[in-house]
Structure 1
Amino acid sequence: MDKFYIRIFRHTLSVDEEDTWIDIAELDIHPEIMYKLAELGIVEVRRGQIPACQVMRAHKILRLRRDLGVNLPGAAIILDLLEQVEELQDEIERLKRR
């Protein structure tokens, strides 16, 4: 039986990066795939650019597809659930510090 592992990466953006947009041609992702991700509502693409805060999201989606063979809608659901888990973990840590 094959074993599969999921790596969860956390990336905290500085205030300056929240407003930064990156040209999708500079990424190692084919532009058509980026537009498909935008069409599915996974990332936002405007004038050939993606917000810097969503680049890691796109890479995670593609990693789920590559490593686990999950289709794009399934990978989006998995990523949303992982992000919810991260938010809940952050909330637990915040409550523990009270």
Structure 2
Amino acid sequence: MPSEPDMVLRPQRTRSAPELAEALRHARKVRGLTQTALAKVAGIRAHHISRIESGAVKPNIDTLFVLLSALGLDLTLSARDSGPGDPDKGIEDIF
């Protein structure tokens, strides 16, 4: 079990490729996996996982689903809500 409070896997909102890369990296670390170990489970080269996590490349949708499955994660879509500190953002503000 992770000893540090930030090493717990909680639902996380991601709205950009860099946020997704960070979420995948965090999930891998919470699971106690190295990039090499995740690569073996997912059937993806460790170098590719490194490039995804660093933001050098964006995973295609098939690769994303393979990584999510290997990490025991689901993709959940939800309506975007805007509240204090979270103004409505257009697509141009996200990408």
Answer yes or no: same fold by TM over 0.5.
no
- Using the size of structure 2 for normalisation, the TM-score is 0.30
> Which structure: greater helix fraction?
1
> Which structure: greater strand fraction?
1
